[in-house]
Structure 1
Amino acid sequence: MPKGTNQKFKLYRLAQLMLEQTDDEHYITMPEILAGLGNYGITADRKSIYQDLKDLEVLGIEVEGEPDGKGYHYHVVSRPFELPELKLLVDAIQSSRFITEKKTNALIRKLEKLVSRYEANRLQRQVFVSGRIKTMNESIYYAVDTIHNAISDNKKIRFQYYQWNVKKEMVLRRDGAFYEISPWGLSWDSENYYLVGFDSEAGEIRHYRVDKMLRIQMTDKAREGKEHFRKLDMADYAKKSFGMFGGEEKTVKLLVDHQLAGVIVDRFGKDVHMIPVDENHFTVSVTVMVSSQFLGWIFSLGEKVEILGPEEVKEQMRREGERLLKQYS
Structure 2
Amino acid sequence: MGEKLYYVYKVIKESQEPISGKDIVTALKEYGIKVDIKTVYSLIERINDFYQCLTGKQLIKTIRRKGFIVAGDYFEDGELQFLVDNVISNSNLDQKAANKLVNKLLLLSSNNQKDRLYIEKGQHQDLTFDLLVNLTTIIKAINNQRNIAFKYVSYDIRDNHLIEVYHTNGNLNEETYVVSPYQIIVRNSIYYLVGYFNKRKDSLSVYRIDRMRLVMNYRGRYEDVHESYDIIKEFENNVNMYFSNEHIDLTIIFDRQVIREVVSQFGKDIEVKKVDKQRLAAKIYNVAMSDGLIGWLMMLQDKVEVASPESLRTNVKNRLTTMLEMYLREN
Question: Given the two structures, how large is their TM-score scaled by the length of structure 1?
Answer: 0.75
Deviation at residue 144 of structure 1 after TM alignment: 0.8
Q: For the residues of structure 2 that align with 1:62 and 1:133, how far apart are their CA atoms? A: 34
Distance 1:39 1:59 in 2: 25
1:152-180 CA-partner distances (Å, limit 9, x unpaired): 23455442211232332211123653343
Q: Which amino acid aligns with 1:268?
A: F
1:254 aligns with 2:250: yes
- How much does 1:137 deviate? 2.8
C-alpha contact 2:18 2:63 (8 A) present in aligned 1: no
When residues 199 and 315 of structure 1 are mapped into structure 2, their CA distance, relative to the original with a 3 A threshold, is farther
Is the CA contact (8 Å cut-off) linking 2:146 and 2:180 kept in structure 1? no
Residue aligning to 1:126: 119
Instruction: Tell me how far apart the structure 1 counterparts of residues 126 and 195 of structure 2 sit (CA, whole Å).
Output: 22
CA contact (8 A) 1:194 1:210 kept: yes
Aligned to 1:106: 100
Equivalent residue runs for 1:184-223 within 5 Å: 184-189=183-188, 191-197=189-195, 201=200, 203-204=202-203, 207-219=206-218, 220-223=221-224
Q: Is the 8 A contact 1:159 1:214 kept in 2?
A: yes
Amino acid at match of 1:187: V
Task: Note the alpha carbon deviations across 1:183-239, whole angstroms, 9 max, x for none.
Answer: 4223152x54333456661745664332211122345423434454366599xx69x
Return the alpha-carbon distance in structure 1 between the equivalents of residues 242 and 78 of structure 2: 38
- Total equivalences in the alignment: 304
| SS of equivalent to 2:214 | strand
Contact 1:164/1:170 (<8 A) preserved: yes
Matched, 1:143 2:142: no
How much does 1:117 deviate?
A: 4.4
In structure 2, do the counterparts of structure 1 residues 141 and 29 end up closer, same or farther at CA, with 3 Å as the change threshold?
Answer: same
Residues of 2 paired with 1:204 and 1:270: CA distance?
A: 37
Q: CA deviation at 1:289?
A: 4.8
CA contact (8 A) 1:161 1:213 kept: yes
**How has the CA–CA distance of structure 1 residues 263 and 126 changed in structure 2, closer, same or farther, with 3 Å as cutoff?**
closer
Any idea what SS the aligned residue of 2:74 has?
coil
CA contact 1:20–1:115 (8 Å) conserved in 2? no
Give the direction of change, closer, same or farther, for the CA distance of 1:221–1:251 in structure 2 (3 Å limit). same
Task: Work out whether residues 193 and 209 of structure 2, in 8 Å CA contact, stay in contact via their aligned partners in 1.
Answer: yes
User: Alignment partner of 1:146: what SS?
Assistant: helix
Among 5, 22, 32, the residue aligned to 1:11: 5
Letter in 1 for 2:141: A
Return the alpha-carbon distance in structure 1 between the equivalents of residues 126 and 186 of structure 2.
16
**Do the aligned residues in 2 keep the contact of 1:156 with 1:223 (CA within 8 Å)?**
no
Counterpart of 2:19 in structure 1 is: 28
**Alpha-carbon offset, residue 136 of structure 1:** 0.7
Equivalence for 2:54: none
Within 5 A, what are the aligned runs for 1:138-287? 138-155=129-146, 157-166=148-157, 167-174=161-168, 176-179=174-177, 180=179, 182-189=181-188, 191-197=189-195, 201=200, 203-204=202-203, 207-219=206-218, 220-229=221-230, 245=241, 248-257=244-253, 259=256, 262-271=260-269, 273-274=270-271, 280-287=280-287
Moved more, 313-322 or 97-106: 313-322
Name the structure 2 match of 1:305.
Answer: 305
| CA shift in 2, pair 1:161/1:15, >3 Å | same
> 1:65 maps to which residue?
62
Sort the Cα spacing of 1:209 and 1:44 in 2 relative to 1 into closer, same or farther, 3 A.
same
C-alpha deviation, 1:79, in angstroms: 2.9
Secondary structure of 2:121 counterpart: coil
Match of 1:4 in 2: none
Partner of 2:325: 326
Letter in structure 1 aligned against 2:61: E
* Contact 1:155–1:223 (Cα < 8 Å) also in 2: no
Amino acid at match of 2:266: F
Q: Is the 8 A contact 1:249 1:290 kept in 2?
A: no
Q: Is the 8 A contact 2:147 2:180 kept in 1?
A: yes
C-alpha displacement at 1:128, in angstroms? 1.1
Change (3 A) 1:154 1:257: farther
Task: Check conservation: 1:184, 1:198, Cα contact below 8 A.
Answer: no
TM-score, normalized by length of structure 2?
0.74
Q: Which amino acid in the other structure matches residue 296 of structure 1?
A: G
Q: Which SS does the other structure have where 1:99 is aligned?
A: coil
| Distance change >3 Å, CA 275–CA 92, structure 1 → 2 | closer
| Structure 1 vs Structure 2 CA RMSD | 3.6
Q: Is the 8 A contact 2:253 2:307 kept in 1?
A: no
Q: 1:92 aligns with which of 86, 92, 108?
A: 86
**Corresponding residue SS for 2:64:** strand
Distance 1:316 1:48 in 2: 75
